């Protein structure tokens, strides 16, 4: 099955070694399908997602918020996810 929309997200964390501290970025795709959302190895049914919103920080960096029945999940994005959010809202209207 082909995804309806895909958006690139990143997890950022710091590692401390013996002589250095480094910032590590793990990139993954957020994939929107007709009935579910795939993210970083987990699957969330669209019936469990109430809304999506985006809050920019600066220069396109920001947080994509997934408002779900188990709380709000925040995802760090480096490009605005407007197309992804619009695709989600169109799917929710059809359901």
- pLDDT per position as a tens digit, 28-43: 999 999 999 999 999 9
Q: Which pLDDT score, from 0 to 100, does residue 59 have?
A: 79
Cα separation, 50 vs 44, in Å, equals 11
List the structure tokens of 4.
């309806």
Q: pTM for the complete prediction? A: 0.88
For the chain, which ranges sit under pLDDT 50?
A: none
pLDDT attached to residue 11: 93
Would you state the structure tokens that stand for residue 61, as one six-digit string? Answer: 């960096």
Within a 13 Å sphere around the CA of 74, how many CA atoms are in the beta-carbon half?
7
Alpha carbon distance 16, 68 (integer Å): 33
Residue that is written with structure tokens 């490009």 in the block: 79
CB 45 within 8 A of CB 35: yes
């Amino acid at each position: 099955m082909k995804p309806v929309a895909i958006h690139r997200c990143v997890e950022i964390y710091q590692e401390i070694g013996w002589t250095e501290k480094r910032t590590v970025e793990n990139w993954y795709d957020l994939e929107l399908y007709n009935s579910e959302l795939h993210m970083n190895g987990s699957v969330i049914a669209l019936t469990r997602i109430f809304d999506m919103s985006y809050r920019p920080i600066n220069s396109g960096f920001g947080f994509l918020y997934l408002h779900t029945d188990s709380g709000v999940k925040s995802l760090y994005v480096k490009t605005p996810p407007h197309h992804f959010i619009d695709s989600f809202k169109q799917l929710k209207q059809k359901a």
